[in-house]
Structures are given as structure tokens and as C-alpha cells.
Copies of this chain bind each other. A is one copy, B any other.
Amino acid sequence: MIEGPYLLFLGDAADPLAAKVAQGIRDWRPDAALGQYRMQGCNADMGLPDMTPAEAAAKGARTMVVGVANRGGVISPAWVEVLSQALEAGMDLASGLHNLLRDEPELVAVAMKTGRALHDVRVPPHRYPIATGRRRPGKRCLAVGTDCSVGKMYTALAMEREMRARGMKATFRATGQTGILITGGGVPLDAVVADFMAGSIEALSPANDADHWDLIEGQGSLFHASYSGVTLALIHGGQPDALVLCHEPTRTHMRGLPEYTLPSLEALRDLALDMARIVNPEVRVSGVSINTAGLDAGAAERLLRETEARLGLPTTDPFRHGAGRLVDALA
């Protein structure tokens, strides 16, 4: 586990999008976002107090999180200096970059000297077991998508927040780098070795109280030729009781695959159910989450109503309208 609260390192972010990890932490774990550190030329701002590593440490920050992705994922020499200061101030470091903290000799030396930890969340923290497929108590909800990057993480986080606000027992389970940095733990599923994918998800969402819900972050899509195997391991390891279908209506082809069009929500529903029933015959589709960011309010409203009527399932955009109806369907 990565210890909070965090100082969010925004570095020299070229634009706000480059700092989307920091944005995710600020949006979803505001209590963990103590402050931000911006370098010369930084074009992102989380609206948090600007602090040096020493100031943040004095206020209780335990980890400086690299909340920015720069082109190529490299860790620049200018960064190393600030990251070293954070270690010297008594904080750990956490990063989801392709280039690893542990591959920077200077950071490794300072971490050794100061006894601090370097968390590279792209690297699985330990070996996972082979999945057993055994039924386990507790409820699990999994977001599945017509494509990659259609709002699966956002949907699960919004549902967790709503459930907790209602006093329900709920835990978001991160399966990707951003989700792990937001919550402080999880499984970087895309980096797990094939044989252990489903087992890692069983480990991530273990037996729990009968009325506890795990909201498992989805990955990829059963219809995405590059990543479908990851998605299926998530379905079979997660053993979901409920599936939420996620979709982005303006997408013209599968992400990164210009020759592939998106499946319909009906096709996703049918295939995901076929797959999930293998491990849980009682699984059902509980709702639809549509990312309407690309539509104006009227068009979004019409699409949601039309989809709800067509599929006979609660349909919402949790960002625009909250996750209440998706949670109603689980309760």
C-alpha cells in the first residue's frame, strides 16, 4: 500500500491533460491530496496549496506521487532533484510512469540512504496465485466496456462514492496504474504474467461480508483484439454478481484499431453475460453508464432515455447525473 496523504508532483506538465493522474487523485481522494508541487513552466493546477517537499512533509504528507505523464514517460534530471528532496524530507515516492523510479540510480541511492520506498505501480508488487474459480462470499460489480477508455474507472469510483454516502459497504478495487495511485493499492493487471491474471483479481477482491460490494475497475474490452484476454481474466477472476455496461457514443472505431467498429451495447451485454455466467450463473447486467462528455445536454438526455428504453436497464452518465441510479439497481 502507498501511504497517504500525498504531495502531488505536477512537474513541468505541458497541459492539464498531462496531469490527469493528479486530477484523478484530487477528484476521487480529496482527503489524500494535501498539496501540489509545480515546477517552472507547469501548465497544470489542481487548485491545491503549493508546497515544497519539506513543507508537505511537515504537514504530514507521507508520499509524493508523480501525478504527471510527460512524453516518452522519462524521468528528467530536473525531476530527479525534486524527487530526491521528497525522499530526504521523509516521504516515499510513487509513480505510474513507464520508466521506473527504481531504474534511476540517484533515486535508488537516496531511497536506500533514507530508508524510504519507491513505488512503481506499473510493476506487479508480488507474484499472484493461479485462480481457483471457487465461489466466495461478498458481492462484486464489474464495469465492462464496448471499448477501452470509455469511463469504466470513473463509473466504479462514482458508484463507490455514492454507496459509501448511503452507508453501504463498498470498496473500489483498482486494476490500472491511475486507479492504483488514486486508491494507494491494487493490481496493475496489464503487467501481470498471463497465467496469473485471473488469480491476481481473485486476490484483489477476496471473500468479504455478504452485504459488501467490491467495485472492480474494468480494463480493455472483450471486443478489443489487443486486450480482450485481460478483460476475460478480469471477468473470470472477479466473478461478478453485477455488470455495468460502459460506452462512449462518439467513438468512431475501437481505440487504436481503426479497422474495428464498436459493438452495440446489446452485443456487449450478451457476450459479457455468456462469459460471466461460466463462473457465476446468477450474474446480471444491472445498468448502463454512458460517457456523454462529447454531447450537449439535450443530446445526452435523449441518448440516455433512448438507451434505457431499448435495453430496459437503468442508464446514466455518472459524471453528469451521478451514480445514484446505478447504485439503486444494486441495492
A residues lining the B interface (CB < 8 Å)? 130-135, 189-195, 197-199, 222-223, 225-234, 236-237, 254, 256-257, 259-260, 263, 271, 274-275, 278-279
Contacts and interface: CB of A to CB of B under 8 A. Distances in A.
Nearest to A190: B195
B194 A190 contact: yes
8 nearest interchain CB pairs?
A229-B233, A133-B225, A229-B229, A190-B195, A131-B226, A229-B232, A225-B236, A232-B232
A222 B135 CA distance: 18
Interface centre among A132, A195, A263, A274 (most CB of B within 10 A): A195
10 contacts: A133-B260, A194-B229, A195-B226, A198-B226, A198-B227, A225-B279, A229-B230, A229-B233, A229-B236, A232-B232
Nearest to A219: B194
Nearest to A227: B195
Interface centre among A190, A194, A226 (most CB of B within 10 A): A194
A303 B174 CA distance: 47
Contact of A131 (B132, B135, B225, B271): B225
Given A132-B257, A135-B259, A232-B232, A225 B198 contact: yes
Number of copies: 2
Contacts of A231: 229, 232
A189 B199 contact: no
Given A133-B257, A229-B233, A193 B192 contact: yes
Contacts of A223: 278
Contacts of A229: 194, 197-198, 229-234, 236
Contacts of A225: 131-133, 198, 236-237, 278-279
Contacts of A132: 225-226, 257
A241 B195 CA distance: 26
Contacts of A259: 133-135
A230 B259 CA distance: 23
A233 B193 CA distance: 13
Given A222-B275, A225-B236, A229-B233, 20 more contacts: A132-B226, A132-B257, A133-B254, A133-B259, A133-B260, A190-B195, A198-B225, A198-B226, A198-B228, A198-B229, A222-B278, A223-B278, A225-B278, A228-B236, A228-B275, A229-B230, A229-B231, A229-B236, A231-B232, A271-B274
